[in-house]
């Protein structure tokens, strides 16, 4: 015992009191002792001290031990009282024991006192536990009796052979039969014959001690009909052995009819091609038809119960609130909205929203019927674009003659002046004028071919010389606060191209870069070559395996917002002020590059600049062969776990698939926040992180800092479409194991990982 035992002593003689206390001190039980010698104090201490045990002399000046026992009885207390007296009278002892005393101890034989106290307390505790159990049993029996009699569900018991031993009054409500009619009858007589074998097997399992979850059967009614019921069954024990079955039966006929009606309605809703959903205003999805599965990608099982704002309406909470306000006012709304799909894409739908009110519960739900108009709008846009291009062709044809007449005197005059001007600076300026006029004439031809859909003449072109020509023009015409740089290798393969068209591509991109740097900056033109493998070809639909020339035009300007990246190649789309741009520049670039069987990529981040990369198929010389790539010999993994954080769904998926194929296990994250969460949960098994430096929600540098806080030693490979110097500061760059600039090949990625993870491989 840790809690002291509270002992109240009734004694008026000090010497005897000291003897008792002295004996009590020999006990190993912690004690809390108080003393009284009159009835008034005794009653007060019963309330205030609440003793666990009482030691009482028989005779006290104002009352006796018998009086103390009467007081305990009147209060209904079960506190044990031990008589401690100097009177050696058997009659006294018997009288006190009959009155309720636990024991009788003589003062001249106190050696038995401590054991008597222990026995009295143990007897009291045992009695209290027994009384508590009896009380609980009575309460349980009362509750069960009330439940059995008053329950609206049928309660039954069966014996070991399956005969009914008890049925509550709800049996009559459920079946129409009186309970007495069925006591002693076998359960098989009241259930449908089709369900008998099923129910018999369940009862057999219960008799072996199993508990049966809610199950459905058909139950006979007095009118001869059957109703669907849900029943439960648990073993009924007696003396530790199963003697029968106890269970509850509930009528679910109404629910079954409702479910059947809902299934019929759902079948009808699944026949339509429109997306039909039902959800709460807070976004919880309640219904999701077959068309929603087909067009959006999530199955009904995946969608129901989830939040629409975290799925197809991500980022549109404000839009939803505005629509909901209109729904409350008018009861309906119709308009076009973009829905996100499971794969990360978007579809445009013409959506009709209707507010469904439940007046009884004061709740609202939103029914939406949405028609996919993505392809329809694309066709409309293509038709309008074709009309505009036709107008451009007509307009270009009409003014080409006049423009050429304007350029002709400039070209002739510059040639004549070149013979009269003797200083070198003047001659250089005239050469620039002559070259620009000739280029202008070629551009007029290009506008005609663009408008008419005609291809220009193509020859073998060395891109290095083309870049040098463009650089000469930029160096003389661009503002001095723009630093134009050219980075190129000594040798590059040739391309089969129209040099005028490629010249126009470079000029358009460089002019756009200049306009993106109103306060100056750096414009970098870089050329190189790349062999595109199957990994990279799967990321870009227009890419094919083989050798390519890359022309990169990068600026350090204001960048392009994500919201307009998909529109910048559309004809007539421009962010410039009226009169400062036609919106045809990038559309022309796109058409020319695609016409050369190439493709173009864009990497941009607001405030960090923009990079356009042009990919044109290269022509290898007869004696120049692309090195054979034996993929089976490429370095692979040994089952190491990697974390890939990439917001572009297609890049993320192909990277995961590629690494899986080369022996790695891969966890993927859509953004930095998810990457940090996954890393925190799987820190012990992740060996390296491949981290895109430009992601929404939490960018690459922020993610990198968070990962380093969790594990300062984690190896991180940074990847970006921007150069490393523009993606992160020098301190963070120094903490990267490696930096790969997109696009990178499978071999580059595998080699980098092999160097990182398998340094000890022989």
148-157 pLDDT, tens digit per residue, is 666 778 888 8
Whether 608 and 502 share a structural domain: yes
Whether 244 and 261 share a structural domain: no
pLDDT score recorded for residue 756 = 87
Instruction: Mark residue 437 as left, alpha or beta (left: phi above 0; alpha: psi -120 to 50; beta: remaining).
Output: alpha
Which band of pLDDT confidence, cut at 50, 70 and 90, is reported for residue 323?
confident
Poorest-pLDDT segment among 119-133, 378-392, 467-481, 711-725: 378-392
Residue with tokens 């010698």: 37
- Domain of residue 276, CATH code: 3.30.450.20
DSSP code, position 628: P
Poorest-pLDDT segment among 330-334, 506-510, 575-579, 601-605: 575-579
Whether 43 and 80 share a structural domain: yes
Q: What is the largest CA-CA distance in the chain?
A: 155
Q: Is the pLDDT of residue 195 over 80?
A: yes
Is the Cβ–Cβ distance between 204 and 194 less than 8 Å?
Answer: no
Distance CA 350, CA 369 (A): 8
Distance CA 67, CA 318 (A): 82
Instruction: Examine residue 16 and state whether it is found in any structural domain, yes or no.
Output: yes
pLDDT score recorded for residue 256 = 78
Whether 238 and 271 share a structural domain: no
Whether 118 and 200 share a structural domain: no
pLDDT score recorded for residue 416 = 66
Poorest-pLDDT segment among 173-177, 181-185, 578-582, 719-723: 578-582
Read off φ and ψ for residue 421, nearest 5 degrees: -85, 130
Closest CA to 103 of 80, 87, 122, 124: 80
pLDDT score recorded for residue 630 = 46
Mean pLDDT value across residues 72-99: 84
Whether 176 and 306 share a structural domain: no
Q: Say what angle helices 424-452 and 374-420 make with each other, to 10 degrees.
A: 150
Closest CA to 525 of 543, 549, 501, 496: 549
- Cα torsion angle, 443, 445, 447, 453, sign: negative
DSSP code, position 229: E
15-27 pLDDT, tens digit per residue, is 888 888 888 888 7
Whether 9 and 125 share a structural domain: yes
Number of domains in the chain: 5
Whether 282 and 238 share a structural domain: no
Which band of pLDDT confidence, cut at 50, 70 and 90, is reported for residue 227?
confident
Strand order in the sheet with 212-220: 164-167, 154-159, 241-251, 226-238, 212-220
Instruction: Examine residue 498 and state whether it is found in any structural domain, yes or no.
Output: yes
pLDDT score recorded for residue 667 = 93
Query: 237: which 2 tokens?
Result: 């024990």
Q: Is the pLDDT of residue 634 over 80?
A: no
Poorest-pLDDT segment among 300-309, 310-319, 341-350, 393-402: 393-402
CB contact set of 126 (below 8 Å; sequence gap of 6+):
none
Instruction: Examine residue 423 and state whether it is found in any structural domain, yes or no.
Output: no
Q: Is the pLDDT of residue 579 over 60?
A: no
Q: Is the pLDDT of residue 51 over 90?
A: yes
Q: Is the pLDDT of residue 310 over 90?
A: no
Distance CA 606, CA 597 (A): 30
Query: 748: which 2 tokens?
Result: 């580059």
Residue with tokens 């990697």: 642
Mean pLDDT value across residues 602-610: 85
Mean pLDDT value across residues 638-656: 85
Instruction: Mark residue 697 as left, alpha or beta (left: phi above 0; alpha: psi -120 to 50; beta: remaining).
Output: left
Q: Is the pLDDT of residue 493 over 80?
A: yes
- Give the residue with greater pLDDT, 376 vs 354: 354
Instruction: Examine residue 650 and state whether it is found in any structural domain, yes or no.
Output: yes
pLDDT score recorded for residue 508 = 87
Distance CA 324, CA 343 (A): 27
Distance CA 236, CA 374 (A): 63
- Give the residue with greater pLDDT, 540 vs 557: 557
For residue 617, give the 3-state DSSP assignment. strand
pLDDT score recorded for residue 35 = 92
Whether 584 and 485 share a structural domain: yes
Instruction: Examine residue 228 and state whether it is found in any structural domain, yes or no.
Output: yes
Instruction: Examine residue 426 and state whether it is found in any structural domain, yes or no.
Output: no
- Give the residue with greater pLDDT, 381 vs 238: 238
- The last residue of one of the domains, among 64, 96, 130, is 130
Read off φ and ψ for residue 276, nearest 5 degrees: -120, 120
- Cβ neighbours of 349 (radius 10 Å): 23
- Domain of residue 727, CATH code: 3.40.50.2300
- The last residue of one of the domains, among 340, 372, 404, is 372
Query: 299: which 2 tokens?
Result: 């199955």
Instruction: Examine residue 292 and state whether it is found in any structural domain, yes or no.
Output: yes
- Cβ neighbours of 193 (radius 10 Å): 8
List the domain range (segments joined by +) for residue 57. 5-130
Q: What is the pTM of this model?
A: 0.39
Whether 23 and 76 share a structural domain: yes
- Give the residue with greater pLDDT, 556 vs 457: 556
pLDDT score recorded for residue 412 = 60
240-262 pLDDT, tens digit per residue, is 888 888 888 888 887 777 777 76
Q: Is the pLDDT of residue 288 over 90?
A: no
Instruction: Examine residue 563 and state whether it is found in any structural domain, yes or no.
Output: yes
pLDDT score recorded for residue 628 = 45
332-372 pLDDT, tens digit per residue, is 888 888 888 887 788 888 888 888 876 555 567 888 888 88
Q: What is the mean pLDDT of the chain?
A: 81
Which band of pLDDT confidence, cut at 50, 70 and 90, is reported for residue 481?
very high
Whether 641 and 748 share a structural domain: yes
Cα-atom radius of gyration of the chain, to the nearest Å? Answer: 46
pLDDT score recorded for residue 728 = 61
- Cβ neighbours of 344 (radius 10 Å): 14
Whether 662 and 717 share a structural domain: yes
Could you give the percent of the chain with pLDDT greater than 90? Answer: 12
- Domain of residue 579, CATH code: 3.30.565.10
418-438 pLDDT, tens digit per residue, is 767 778 888 788 788 877 777
Q: Can you point out the beta strands (E) in 19-175?
A: 31-36, 53-56, 81-85, 103-106, 154-159, 164-167
pLDDT score recorded for residue 552 = 92
Q: Is the pLDDT of residue 37 over 50?
A: yes
pLDDT score recorded for residue 454 = 45
């Amino acid at each position: 015992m840790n809690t002291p035992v509270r002992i109240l002593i009734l004694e008026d003689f000090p010497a005897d009191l000291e003897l008792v206390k002295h004996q009590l001190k020999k006990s190993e039980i912690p004690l809390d002792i108080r003393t009284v010698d009159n009835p008034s104090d005794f009653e007060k201490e019963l309330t205030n001290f609440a003793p666990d045990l009482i030691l009482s002399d028989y005779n006290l000046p104002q009352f006796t031990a018998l009086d103390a026992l009467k007081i305990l009885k009147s209060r209904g207390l079960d506190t044990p009282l031990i008589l401690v007296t100097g009177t050696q009278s058997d009659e006294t002892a018997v009288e006190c024991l009959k009155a309720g005393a636990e024991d009788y101890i003589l003062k001249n034989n106190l050696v038995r006192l401590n054991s008597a106290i222990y026995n009295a307390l143990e007897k009291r505790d045992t009695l209290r536990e027994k009384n508590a159990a009896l009380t609980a049993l009575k309460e349980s029996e009362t509750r069960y009796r009330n439940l059995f009699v008053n329950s609206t569900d049928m309660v039954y018991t069966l014996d070991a052979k399956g005969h009914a031993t008890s049925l509550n009054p709800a049996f009559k409500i459920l079946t129409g039969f009186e309970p007495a009619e069925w006591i002693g009858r076998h359960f098989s007589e009241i259930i449908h014959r089709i369900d008998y074998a099923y129910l018999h097997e369940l009862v057999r399992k219960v008799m072996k001690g199993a508990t049966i979850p809610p199950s459905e059967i058909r139950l006979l009614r007095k009118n001869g009909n059957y109703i669907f019921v849900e029943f439960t069954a648990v073993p009924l024990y007696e003396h530790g052995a199963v003697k029968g079955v106890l269970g509850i039966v509930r009528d679910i006929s109404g629910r079954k009819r409702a479910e059947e009606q809902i299934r019929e309605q759902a079948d009808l809703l699944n026949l339509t091609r429109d997306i039909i959903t039902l959800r709460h205003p807070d976004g919880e999805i309640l219904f999701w038809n077959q068309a929603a599965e087909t067009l959006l990608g999530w199955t009904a099982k995946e969608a129901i119960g989830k939040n629409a704002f975290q799925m197809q309406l991500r980022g549109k909470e404000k839009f939803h609130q505005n629509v909901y306000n209109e729904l409350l006012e008018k009861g309906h709304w119709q308009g076009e909205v973009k829905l996100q799909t499971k794969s990360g894409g978007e579809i445009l739908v013409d959506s009709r929203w209707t507010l469904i009110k439940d007046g009884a519960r004061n709740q609202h739900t939103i029914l939406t019927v949405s028609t996919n108009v993505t392809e329809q709008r694309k066709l409309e846009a293509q038709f309008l674009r074709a009309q505009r291009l036709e107008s451009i062709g007509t307009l270009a044809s009409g003014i080409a003659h006049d423009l050429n007449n304007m350029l002709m005197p400039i070209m002739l005059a510059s040639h004549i002046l070149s013979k009269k001007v003797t200083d070198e600076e003047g001659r250089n300026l005239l050469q620039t004028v002559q070259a620009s006029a000739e280029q202008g004439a070629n551009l007029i031809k290009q506008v005609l071919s663009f408008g008419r859909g005609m291809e220009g003449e193509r020859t073998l072109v060395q891109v290095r010389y083309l870049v040098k020509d463009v650089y000469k023009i930029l160096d003389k015409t661009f503002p001095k606060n723009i630093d134009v740089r050219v980075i190129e290798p000594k040798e590059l393969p040739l391309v089969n191209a129209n040099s005028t068209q490629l010249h126009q591509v470079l000029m358009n991109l460089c002019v756009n870069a200049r306009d993106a740097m109103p306060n100056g900056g750096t414009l970098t033109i870089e050329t190189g070559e790349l062999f595109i493998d199957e990994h990279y070809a799967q990321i870009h639909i227009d890419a094919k395996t083989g050798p390519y020339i890359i022309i990169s035009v990068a600026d350090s300007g204001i960048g392009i917002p994500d919201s307009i990246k998909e529109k910048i190649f559309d004809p007539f789309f421009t962010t410039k002020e009226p009169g400062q741009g036609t919106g045809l520049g990038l559309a022309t670039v796109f058409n020319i590059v695609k016409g050369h069987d190439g493709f173009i990529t864009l990497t941009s981040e607001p405030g960090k600049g923009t990079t356009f990369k042009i990919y044109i198929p290269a022509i290898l010389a007869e004696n120049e062969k692309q090195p054979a790539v034996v993929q089976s010999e490429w370095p692979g993994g040994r089952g190491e776990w990697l974390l890939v954080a990439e917001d572009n769904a297609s890049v993320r998926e192909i990277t995961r698939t590629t690494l899986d194929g080369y022996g790695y296990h891969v966890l993927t994250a859509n953004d930095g926040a998810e990457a940090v969460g996954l890393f925190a949960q799987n820190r012990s098994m992740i060996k390296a992180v491949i981290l895109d430096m430009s992601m929404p929600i939490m960018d690459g540098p922020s993610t990198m800092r968070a990962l380093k806080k969790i594990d300062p030693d984690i190896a991180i490979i940074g990847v970006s479409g921007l150069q490393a110097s523009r993606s992160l500061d020098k301190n963070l760059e120094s903490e990267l194991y490696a930096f790969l600039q997109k696009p990178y090949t499978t071999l580059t990625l595998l080699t980098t990982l092999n160097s990182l993870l398998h340094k000890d491989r022989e």
